[in-house]
Amino acid sequence: MLLVLLPASAAFNVAARPASTPCARAAAPRLTSPLSAPTHPAVAGWPDKYAGTLGAATGPRVLHDAFAVEAADIALLMELDVANWPTWTTAGNDRWLPNVTRKDKEMPYGELSYLISGKLEIVPKETGLPVVVNPGDVVTFPEGFVSDWTVLEELTWHYYLY
């Protein structure tokens, strides 16, 4: 049995959804590999870091063309196969200390992230308006997105690079 970690001790059984269950969302381009920066260390080894099956009825896909933060529901998490995405944390990482702002962070690749725990403030350069990412949110970071990041609480999230 495969479980996804959700905030507030909630979990769901990925195996409970039959593989043939149609998705309610319209089909979008499926991710097959990170194309934008294949030599970047964070992208090295993709898609092998993804433990699911690419091209199956479920799996990662681009949700938005622009930066977006949205609350995830169980159906979306199952559709994206978040349980098989790698996990990353700021714990023990001096580069991501709480309440220290990293200015002008540019995404050299696209990334989907699902926040399991913690809190992150992102201030996009385009708008200057702070956006707080909370547990249970899915974030789309397009390639080239520039923003300031402040870890408000130690982060743990699932991520998929494209």
Top pLDDT among 53 and 18 is at: 53
Average pLDDT, rounded, for the chain: 78
DSSP 109: S
Q: What is the pLDDT of residues 131-147, one digit of tens each?
A: 999 999 999 999 999 99
Would you mind telling me the total number of residues written for the chain in this entry? Answer: 162
**What are the b/e assignments for 140-152, b being 16+ CB within 10 Å?**
bbbbebebbbbbe
Q: What is the average pLDDT across 30-50?
A: 55
Q: What region does 95 belong to: left with phi over 0, alpha with psi -120 to 50, or beta? A: alpha
The domain segmentation of the chain, as residue ranges, is 33-90+99-161
Strand partners, 120: 133, 151
| Neighbour tally for 22: CB within 10 Å | 6
- Please give the Cα distance from 140 to 147 (Å, whole number): 13
At residue 10 the predicted structure's pLDDT band, cuts being 50, 70 and 90, is very low
Superfamily of domain 33-90+99-161: Jelly Rolls (2.60.120.10)
At 17 the pLDDT is 31
Q: Does 40 score more than 50 pLDDT?
A: yes
Torsion from C-alpha of 25, 30, 35, 36, nearest 10 degrees: -10
Q: What is the pLDDT of residues 57-112, one digit of tens each?
A: 778 888 999 999 999 999 999 999 999 999 999 999 999 999 999 999 999 999 99
At 141 the pLDDT is 97
| Cβ proximity of 120 and 82 under 8 Å | no
Cα first-last separation, the chain: 27
At 151 the pLDDT is 98
